Amino acid sequence: MWDYSDKVKEHFFNPKNAGAVVDANATGEVGSISCGDALRLTLKVDDESEIILEAGFQTFGCGSAIASSSVLTEIIKGMTLDDALKVTNQDIADQLEGLPPEKMHCSVMGREALQAAIANYRGEEWKDDHEEGALICKCFAIDAVMIEEMVWANKLRTVEDVTNFTKAGGGCAACHEDIEAILEKVLAEKGEKFDPTAAPVAAPEKVAAVKAPMTNLQRIKKIEEVLESLRPALMADGGDVELVEVIGNTAYVNMTGACNGCQMAAMTIAGIQQRLMEVMGEFIKVVPASEMAKLVNIEVA
């Protein structure tokens, strides 16, 4: 069974705002019946203020789909449409105190239903911009479609490339066989052959590895450089990282934006540490800056 948070269970067992809003003036219907998740969101919007007065959901889906729908209606009630459009799937997942990686798509479905309903109210046509594929990397919740698109767009050739561009495969590495299968497939479509020993394409602003021992200043500069190179990937997910302090071989960082409080933060930190060690050729420990206080206190004591 999935390890659902208490919040997910609470919203599943006692869903809020279930059913259609009676005199709704906005409706969004999204989902995929083949995947077994579908959601109809109905809203009553005040025409003057554009405030969402009422929200109701009807969901065909699993526990987390129902919980995501329920929490979404709670989040958006009382919001203006413009504010509601700023609600991200991460907001929904956060309100639920996290979702298992395989279930993050339930929160995406919630956000999409909201966008579709608002488009419907405004007389616009809502176009879904994402296609969902089988989940490949469970550490970073990256699916096959995403990997395929990146392989096409960036002419990726190796598993390392895929990890550099999407993070997929950068955690436990159990999905490397699946990533190789995707590379084989896409490269075959392009008339090329997958070669596991091929030189990696240029990683996004890849930083050259260091050989000789470093001074502390060099180390800090190098760490900054590596973090800089990882920043685009983090920012693509709405997050960021900031270096706070370096003591010996420990780098203290602040995860900000969407990374802050994200269930994946620990995995992301592990990924950053891995990358730092690769580039710097020495052991580096990456620790959230929140841990620093404890350490300093111990040293003082």
Partner 1 sequence: MTDIYLDNNATTKVDPAVVDVMIPYFLEQYGNPSSIHKFADGVARGLKQARQQVQALIGCEHDSEIIFTSCGTESNSTAILSAIKAQPNKKEIITTMVEHPAILSLCDYLEKEGYTIHRMPVDKAGRLNLESYKRLLSDQVAIVSVMWANNETGTIFPVAEMAEMANAAGVMFHTDAVQAVGKIPMMLQDTKIDMLSLSGHKLHAPKGIGVLYLRRGTRYRPLLRGGHQERGRRAGTENSASIVGLGKACELALEYIEYENTKVKAMRDRLEQGITEQIGHCFVTGDMYNRLPNTTDIAFEYIEGESILMLLNKYGIAASSGSACTSGSLEPSHVMRAMDIPYTAAHGTIRFSFSRYNSMAEVDKVLEVMPGIVATLRKLSPYWDGNGPVADPEKAFAPTYA
Residue 262 known to bind ligand = no
Q: How far is the CB of 275 from partner 1 (least distance, A)?
A: 28
Q: How far is the CB of 114 from partner 1 (least distance, A)?
A: 13
Q: How far is the CB of 136 from partner 1 (least distance, A)?
A: 12
Among the listed residues 106, 109, 179, 267, the single catalytic one is 106
Residue 106 designated active-site = yes
Quick one: tokens of 147? 């990997």
Among the listed residues 19, 20, 35, 260, the single catalytic one is 35
Q: How far is the CB of 180 from partner 1 (least distance, A)?
A: 11
Q: How far is the CB of 197 from partner 1 (least distance, A)?
A: 20
Nearer to partner 1 by Cβ, of 188 and 236: the residue is 188
Nearer to partner 1 by Cβ, of 18 and 235: the residue is 18
Nearer to partner 1 by Cβ, of 133 and 281: the residue is 133
Residue 35 known to bind ligand = yes
- Region of 31 on the Ramachandran plot (φ > 0 left; ψ -120 to 50 alpha; else beta): left
Residue 172 known to bind ligand = yes
Give the 3-state secondary structure of the chain. CCCCCHHHHHHHHCCCCECCCCCCCEEEEEEECCCCEEEEEEEEECCCCCEEEEEEEEEECCHHHHHHHHHHHHHHCCCEHHHHCCCCHHHHHHHCCCCCHHHHHHHHHHHHHHHHHHHHHCCCCCCCCCCCCCEEECCCCEEHHHHHHHHHHHCCCCHHHHHHHHCCCCCCCCCHHHHHHHHHHHHHHCCCCCCCCCCCCCCCCCCCCCCCCCCHHHHHHHHHHHHHHHHHHHHHCCEEEEEEEEECCEEEEEEEECCCCCCCHHHHHHHHHHHHHHHHCCCCEEEEHHHHHHHHHHHHC
Nearer to partner 1 by Cβ, of 112 and 160: the residue is 112
Residue 35 designated active-site = yes
Binding site for partner 1 (CB under 8 A): 1, 9, 12-13, 15, 18-19, 29-40, 57-66, 100, 102-103, 112, 116, 126, 128, 131-135
Nearer to partner 1 by Cβ, of 35 and 202: the residue is 35
Q: Annotated binding site for Fe cation, which residues?
A: 35, 62, 106
Q: Annotated binding site for [2Fe-2S] cluster, which residues?
A: 137, 139, 172, 175
- The catalytic site residues sit at 35, 106
